[in-house]
A and B are shown apart, each in its own frame.
Chain A
């Protein structure tokens, strides 16, 4: 299976990645070769194999519902580019 140029551009847009025009053919080739490998794997008969949600042979540990994190707003906001009245400021988003 191979991807075309517009699919690669769409994937980059969804991932908010800016890619250089001249690099697109290289990404098309590299991503297509990954999908070729997936195609090869899909040829294997996996009927009767339980789908794996995680490669670790273990189950999720659960946490007791107790507050363990206190307010560290100042600490976190010291590295934020812009804050005001306790809020993180970001470029205007209007839906």
Chain B
């Protein structure tokens, strides 16, 4: 039987505020345990939450970026459950009146095809603390620094049909939140975490199959692997005559498998009710417009501009517009070189290869945009050939110097001086009388041989165009 995969993602994005969503404690990453957990974060009796305006602003900003309805009357609710890293015994979240309503994002696959994925909603909530299960005299250690950190939970429609689409969606959300500066998007530090709801159904069936929620998939790579494993597990289960039970499964990156989590209490019995310690949040039109006016050019708009302004392909434009840093770098190279397509190639092929190899972000590129632009100028003004440019580029990567210095140092200048090339051609003709005779006798293929000989004589520095022209005349 042919199966179709149905995936919905819940992405938790940590908002990059200075302080917690409901307290004035710092959210700085990496502080000593419990030094950034104040009375409110600890759930001390008598404390009351006060909503952080910057968390609201960032949530609205995201809503506008995905073209969503902004909840102008939103409210907070309590989600009740017991766990030691949740000192109050409840999480403040939004159930019935989220800050962001229906929206959508466009994702692009590796083959350049695009697809719209619906966003059901995005709501604000507080993060929990961290439990450390290493041996503390047989006890569990609790660090509440993270407790109360503002999260935006972005819930997608079940529109995603493969693990690859899930990755593309996640990358798009990552791109948007980092573009508009609502999150640092640092997945290693947990700034973006993802739960995946996965089910399968026979191809063509309308009803959804029973779904499992996979928790703990916190990198682009793990998302793809975890979903693929879960899909294989469900298919094998059903084809063996079994049924999928709705449950929460945990992805174990080390074993590369998902396994059932012991259910905490009666599933989903969180007994939500309106949060009595917080009043409804009212947002007026002028607030929304003020936030809108602060939005930078978004990835999709930038992609469209790269296509129209620079004549790039949709795929190239999408790759270059995927992060602010990449887009900024590319535009700096293109502006220096005045050759956008060549600039796109150099950034996406040669530079990307170097950066990938050393796992360096483009913002810390060993070759500056100014220097890469200058290298392209030297190709277009015929100082060097494209082939020589690669050697110059290697030199630039090595010591970060500018292309002209390296061209000078390595003596890589392209020779376009006709008298010098003529002299080399004369020598080649004189040294190969047999081939000259055959060529003149009609063996046209030998032309390439002469070009090769002249290039060799010039140590690759002769301008191939000039060599071609002069050879034709001389032979």
- Give me the interface of A with B, judged by CB distance under 8 Å: 10, 13-14, 16, 53-54, 56, 58-69, 71-73, 76-77, 82, 84-95
Q: Are A72 and B261 in contact (CB under 8 A)?
A: no
Instruction: Judge whether B34 and A56 touch: CB under 8 Å.
Output: no
Q: Is the CB of A63 within 8 A of B50?
A: yes
A86 and B35 form a contact (CB under 8 A): yes
Q: A66-B18, A67-B24 are in contact. Are A90 and B75 (CB under 8 A)?
A: no
B140 touches A65 (CB 8 A): no
B138 within 8 A of A: yes
Contacts A13-B265, A59-B280, A69-B38 given; does A87 touch B33 at CB 8 Å: yes
Which A residues touch B50, using CB under 8 A?
61-63
With an 8 A cutoff between CB atoms, is B144 at the interface?
yes
Q: Which residues of B contact A86 (CB under 8 A)?
A: 32-35, 143
B263-313 residues at the A interface, CB under 8 angstroms: 264-266, 269, 271, 274, 276, 278-282
- Give the Cβ gap from B79 to chain A, nearest Cβ, in Å: 12
- Give the A-B contact count at a CB cut-off of 8 A: 134
Q: Chain B residue with minimal CB distance to A11?
A: B271
- A60-B280, A62-B53, A65-B19 are contacts. A76–B34 as well, Cβ < 8 Å? yes
Q: Chain B interface mostly helix, strand, loop or mixed? A: loop
- B181 in the interface (beta carbon within 8 A): no
Of the candidates A16, A61, A72, A94, the one whose C-beta lies within 8 Å of that of B38 is A72
Chain B residues contacting A92 (CB-CB under 8 Å) are 133, 138-140
Q: Is the CB of B279 within 8 A of A67?
A: no
Contact partners of A64 in chain B: CB under 8 A: 53-54
A88 in contact with B266 given A56-B279, A72-B38 (CB within 8 Å):
no
B1-60 interface with A by 8 A CB criterion = 17-19, 23-26, 32-40, 42, 44, 50-56
Quick check: B35 and A89 within 8 Å, CB to CB?
no
Complex contact A89–B140 (CB within 8 A): yes
**Neighbouring B residues of A62 by C-beta, 8 Å:** 50-53, 56
30 A-B residue pairs with Cβ-Cβ distance under 8 Å, sorted by A, are: A13-B265, A14-B80, A14-B265, A16-B82, A54-B75, A54-B279, A59-B280, A60-B280, A60-B282, A63-B51, A64-B53, A65-B18, A65-B52, A69-B19, A71-B35, A71-B36, A73-B37, A76-B39, A77-B34, A82-B139, A86-B32, A86-B143, A87-B141, A87-B143, A89-B139, A89-B140, A90-B84, A90-B140, A93-B84, A95-B250
Assuming A59-B281, A67-B18, A95-B261, is B24 touching A85 (CB within 8 A)? Answer: no
Identify the B interface with A (CB < 8 A).
Answer: 17-19, 23-26, 32-40, 42, 44, 50-56, 75, 80, 82-84, 97, 131-133, 136-144, 250, 261-262, 264-266, 269, 271, 274, 276, 278-282
Are A67's CB and B19's CB within 8 A? Answer: yes
Contacts of A84 in B (CB 8 A): 136-137, 141
Within the assembled complex, what's the spacing in Å between the Cα atoms of A29 and B56?
Answer: 44
Residues on the A chain within 8 Å of B39, using CB? 69, 72, 76
- Contacts A14-B269, A54-B274 supplied; 12 other A-B pairs, CB < 8 Å: A10-B266, A13-B265, A54-B280, A66-B19, A67-B24, A69-B19, A71-B35, A76-B37, A86-B143, A87-B136, A88-B142, A92-B133
Q: Closest B-chain residue to A87, C-beta based? A: B141
Q: Is the CB of B19 within 8 A of A89?
A: no
Contact B52–A93 (Cβ < 8 Å):
no
B53 near A87 with CB under 8 A, answer: no
Per a CB cutoff under 8 Å, which of B32, B144, B279 touches A59?
B279
> Which residues of the other chain, A, contact B44 by a CB distance below 8 angstroms?
76
Contact of B279 among A60, A82, A88, A91 (CB under 8 A): A60
Complex Cα–Cα for A65 and B56 (A): 11
Residue with the greatest number of chain B CB neighbours at <10 A, chosen from A16, A59, A69: A69
Contact between B34 and A69, CB atoms less than 8 A apart? no
Contact A73–B141 (Cβ < 8 Å): no
Interface contact A76-B42, CB-CB below 8 Å: yes
List B contacts of A16 (CB < 8 A): 82
Given contacts A71-B35, A89-B141, A93-B83, contact A65 B265 (CB under 8 A): no
B54 neighbours in A (Cβ, 8 Å): 64-65
B212 to chain A, nearest CB (A): 16
Query: In the complex, what residues of B have CB within 8 A of residue A85's CB?
Result: 33, 136, 141
A91 vs B44: C-alpha distance when bound (angstroms):
20
In the assembly, what is the distance between CA of A16 and CA of B218, in Å? 32
